[in-house]
Amino acid sequence: MAAFHHAKVSFRSSQSGQRANTQSSEATSRHAKGSTRRLSLHEFVRAGQTRQVQNALKPQTELMPVLVIIHGDSYNWNSGTLYDGSILAAYGRLIVVTLNYRLGVFGFLSSGDPTCKGNWALSDIVCALDVLRAMVSDFGGDPSMVTLLGWDTGAALVNLLMSSPISAPVDSRLFRRAILLGGSALSSWALVTSPSEYFYQLADGLGCQIYKQNHFGQQTLLGVEDVLECIQTDSVENITRAAALLDLPTFLSNFGPVIDGIVVNTDPAYNLENHGSLFQEIDLLVGATKHEAYDQLSTEHLQYGLDVKNRDAIYRTFVRNMYSFHRTEIFNAIVNEYNDWYNPGQHPITVRDSVLEAISDALYLAPLTKVVRLHAQGKTPGGVHRTEDGAQRGKTFFYLFSHETSGNPRYGLKGSIHAEDLPYILGYPLLNNQPPSIELNAFDFTFNKQERVISEVLMRYVANFVKTGDPNEIRWDNVLTDEVKFLERFRKLYWPEFYTIAKESCMEIRDHPKVDSFYRAHEIAFWNNFLPSLESTGRTESNPEHHLLPQHFMKNSYFGVVRPYDVGKMPFPPPPLPPTPIPTELTTILQNQQPAQIKITPQKEASSGTQSSQETATNYSTILSVTIAVGCALLILNLLVFAGIYRQRERHRKGKPQENSAGLLLQETSPYDMTATYGGLIPSGSGQYSGSGMTLPPASPVTTSVRDGEAYPYMQLQQRSSVANAYASSGSQQMIVPPEEDATFGITMHQQPQAISPVCPRHGKLATAAASQAPKTQLEEIQV
């Protein structure tokens, strides 16, 4: 193996201090505004390619391609210094560059508006690439042959730069090819959708005032300028501590890239689907592993497995943090899709494997496959394809690293885990288990002989792609390993390009390599097609509570940290606006003028939202008034109809009149009056009836004939049988069934004067009786 030199190139911004300055107008010059750390480049160059040798042999020496490694794993921690690129540089005849960029709050703090745009980490990378293009030729590198490699969050940053206009200036692009390992800009954790929320949380953690009272006495957020000034005056240590205390929603990011209109000019999915010219010009190599979500579970869950309750808690957290509509249906669909129906016992290890598959597909594989398909969209084998701008489209390759490293503990998992292919690309297995040249390194695996062959194969694939845009190579010379037979498995296998129209070819790298097609196509369609269609159906037509999970607000039913309940994303109507206050000027005029001189004109500067709210309230009041009026009218009509029916029924109840011995008309007492004496009631002289322990309803007046206002003497009521017979003779319906013949009733009643009601004895008037010979004439009582 050729020797190499490690050339460390570092440069410091012109202004360095302890203040986290987050304001800039030009993205490429953001680094010069101040930083808490240096932006450093680490170049690994083959021996003989230093500046002196390169200048002496410039006519005879060919410039080497450059590979820039963008570290990943998190937006909040890690460093490019941990990764040694010397082996890959020497083996592949490349210049390998690792760099550091600002992380966490210093690299991604954003207020969500132009005051504090964010994306400082992306600006650092762009600045480093610009400097590298100007100086890499001094180290024997070709500035027109730069390739970016990133994994996890680093892959998301590279993917964002692929479609960013800032990476393609007028003269030339900052890089020509890209390698994405286990991450993309379409992953749910790749972008922060609500940066202002964490901006104000950070300020509140630092003790800054973030609220003020408006003229209605309500608390509103302070302006971004005032809050940002308070943050900038605090120390780096306090800002770092406050940022570490912020809640990080599970499967999401609190600090990360945002859509700022400069570096990330629009939504990545929309940009790649509708304006993919910049993106499709670049040659793309994409790699994935079997269990990309390995780091998302705890060590306890990985070692002992998951029961159904913990599985549901993980799925509930995932659904609540990722989706806003039809959450219950989405949860049930995920459980149904990834449940092992051939194992009804639900063993914890089996449940663990199914959860890892689901989360890996959702967070990594499905968005990564969508990026590959968009890059290769419309291409056919053997054809020459160009973008909308007329440039030639780049090539697309996809591989799956499924080999299990022998020295990497995995708790019984079958297949590779997240970022397990990275040490093979850097050539660590070729060190014969000796530590790399860098004191600190990110891997402590041990490797066997076959894994050294796999590492050599992967380094050759990557080096070929960096040089030509194609990982295949006809000749396999300078082989370092003695496992020739094992190497022959890869040498005979051709890696085809990825095409969406033909086969979606996937190179599976393992002990027995093979070329597969449509890798996990069913699961990818579930996440990329079915669930988005399910969520977008009937968002506003359903009841808002329909979109909540069962026991939605019960904290112990979730795994990890859930995002706060976002009312703004739910289809609730907005709250009513407060009344518009009278301006101070108008109030002063009204106080000074006489009542006759007051002339109030409507306020012309009311906002459209307030006018709309007032019009809506007026329309609602009108509709409510009409509804109440119609209801009252119908109620009165019903009462009138009921009164008429009741009056008609009372007339029919009275029956036909009978003549007494004097020739006057007499009307029988109603059966209701007969019940007034039931139970041995004794008439009292005062007209009040009393019985054994019961209060009687008032009796109907006994209708007798009157003459010239003179009442007749009291008369004994007839027996009940005569009353019943009278009803039978008159054809009226009998209200009370007459008792048996052997029943004994004490039916005595103190007869009242004629035509005087016992209910209101002092307000009744005597009715005038009709002539004795007049047929069927009845008496009426008129009360006032």
CA atoms of 557 and 571, how far apart (whole Å): 24
**pLDDT classification of 565: cutoffs 50, 70, 90:** low
Q: Which of 288, 290, 270 has the alpha carbon at shortest distance from 279?
A: 270
Domain that holds residue 163: 4-190+257-299+360-530
Over residues 227-232, mean pLDDT = 94
Would you give the DSSP letter of residue 45? E
Please report, for residues 192, 293, 357, 360, the alpha-carbon distance to residue 296 in angstroms, rounded to integers and kept in the order given. Answer: 18, 5, 12, 9
CA atoms of 250 and 565, how far apart (whole Å): 14
Max CA separation in the chain (angstroms)? 155
593, 623, 638 — which closes off a domain?
638
What six digits make up the tokens of 117? 């745009």
Beta bridge partners of 506: 516
27-41, 482-496, 633-647, 702-716 — which is least confidently predicted? 702-716
467, 502, 530 — which closes off a domain?
530
Beta bridge partners of 42: 8, 98
CA atoms of 310 and 301, how far apart (whole Å): 9
Q: Do 675 and 627 lie in a common domain? A: no
The string of pLDDT tens digits covering residues 443-461 is: 666 888 899 999 999 999 9
How crowded is the C-beta side of 758, counted as CA atoms within 13 Å?
A: 20
Q: Is residue 305, in this structure, part of any structural domain at all?
A: no
Amino acid identity for residue 609 in this structure? G
Q: Do 588 and 525 lie in a common domain? A: no
39-46 vs 4-11, strand pairing mode: antiparallel
Q: Which of 541, 550, 551, 547 has the alpha carbon at shortest distance from 566?
A: 547
Over residues 321-348, mean pLDDT = 92
Q: Do 57 and 152 lie in a common domain? A: yes
CA atoms of 224 and 200, how far apart (whole Å): 9
Residue by residue, DSSP assigns 405-433 as: PTTS--TT--S-BTTTTHHHHHTGGGGTT
3-state secondary structure of 711: strand
pLDDT in the model for residue 159: 97
Distance of CA 45 to the CA centre of its chain: 48
pLDDT in the model for residue 480: 75
The string of pLDDT tens digits covering residues 152-205 is: 999 999 999 999 988 887 667 899 999 999 999 999 999 999 999 999 999 999
Averaged pLDDT score across all residues of the chain: 75
Q: Which of 147, 150, 182, 187 has the alpha carbon at shortest distance from 394?
A: 147
**pLDDT classification of 572: cutoffs 50, 70, 90:** very low
pLDDT > 90: percent of the chain: 48
What six digits make up the tokens of 631? 């209801």
**pLDDT classification of 50: cutoffs 50, 70, 90:** very low
pLDDT in the model for residue 94: 94
Tokens 């796999």, located at residue: 454
Q: Do 116 and 172 lie in a common domain? A: yes
Q: Do 590 and 518 lie in a common domain? A: no
Cα angle value 519/522/526 (rounded, 5°): 125
* Dihedral over Cα of 549, 340, 518, 148: its sign: positive
Tokens 């007028």, located at residue: 170
CA atoms of 340 and 347, how far apart (whole Å): 10
Distance of CA 362 to the CA centre of its chain: 15
Q: Is residue 364, in this structure, part of any structural domain at all?
A: yes
Beta bridge partners of 7: 43
Q: Is residue 219, in this structure, part of any structural domain at all?
A: no
> Is the pLDDT reported for residue 663 higher than 80?
no
58-62, 289-293, 343-347 — which is least confidently predicted? 58-62
Beta bridge partners of 40: 10
Length of the chain: 784
The answer to whether 709 and 696 have CB atoms below 8 angstroms apart is no
**What CATH number has the domain bearing residue 149?**
3.40.50.1820
Q: Do 479 and 626 lie in a common domain? A: no
pLDDT in the model for residue 443: 66
* Dihedral over Cα of 423, 427, 432, 436: its sign: negative
Amino acid identity for residue 528 in this structure? N
pLDDT in the model for residue 768: 46
> Is the pLDDT reported for residue 24 higher than 80?
no
pLDDT in the model for residue 255: 95
pLDDT in the model for residue 702: 43
> Which has more pLDDT, 474 or 91?
91
The string of pLDDT tens digits covering residues 641-660 is: 989 898 888 887 766 454 44
pLDDT > 70: percent of the chain: 65
> Is the pLDDT reported for residue 546 higher than 80?
yes
Q: Do 509 and 581 lie in a common domain? A: no
Q: 632 CB contacts (<8 Å, ≥6 apart)?
A: none
> Which has more pLDDT, 465 or 647?
465
Q: Do 374 and 470 lie in a common domain? A: yes
Q: Is residue 482, in this structure, part of any structural domain at all?
A: yes
CA atoms of 43 and 3, how far apart (whole Å): 14
pLDDT in the model for residue 595: 45
59-73, 212-226, 679-693 — which is least confidently predicted? 679-693
What six digits make up the tokens of 36? 């808490």
Q: Do 10 and 104 lie in a common domain? A: yes
The string of pLDDT tens digits covering residues 100-124 is: 999 999 999 999 888 898 999 999 9
The answer to whether 426 and 89 have CB atoms below 8 angstroms apart is no
pTM here is 0.68
Q: Is residue 339, in this structure, part of any structural domain at all?
A: no
How crowded is the C-beta side of 730, counted as CA atoms within 13 Å?
A: 21
Q: Do 595 and 671 lie in a common domain? A: no
Scanning 36-119, the segments in alpha helix (DSSP H) are 51-56, 86-92, 104-108
Q: Is residue 310, in this structure, part of any structural domain at all?
A: no
How many contiguous H segments (helices) and E segments (strands) does the chain have? 24, 16
Tokens 């047929």, located at residue: 775
Scanning 558-674, the segments in alpha helix (DSSP H) are 584-592, 608-654, 671-674
479, 510, 530 — which closes off a domain?
530
Work out how many domains the chain is built from and give that number: 3
The string of pLDDT tens digits covering residues 695-739 is: 444 444 444 433 333 333 333 434 434 434 443 444 444 433 444
Beta bridge partners of 783: 764
505-509 vs 514-517, strand pairing mode: antiparallel
How crowded is the C-beta side of 140, counted as CA atoms within 13 Å?
A: 29
CA atoms of 750 and 378, how far apart (whole Å): 108
CA atoms of 102 and 124, how far apart (whole Å): 7
Q: 357 CB contacts (<8 Å, ≥6 apart)?
A: 291, 338, 523
pLDDT in the model for residue 730: 42
> Which has more pLDDT, 247 or 95?
95
Q: Do 498 and 591 lie in a common domain? A: no
pLDDT in the model for residue 592: 60
Q: Is residue 201, in this structure, part of any structural domain at all?
A: no
Q: Do 594 and 722 lie in a common domain? A: no
Please report, for residues 216, 303, 364, 522, the alpha-carbon distance to residue 608 in angstroms, rounded to integers and kept in the order given. Answer: 19, 59, 44, 49
Q: Is residue 536, in this structure, part of any structural domain at all?
A: no
Please report, for residues 292, 360, 361, 638, 707, the alpha-carbon distance to residue 182 in angstroms, rounded to integers and kept in the order given. Answer: 7, 10, 11, 75, 114
> Is the pLDDT reported for residue 596 higher than 60?
no
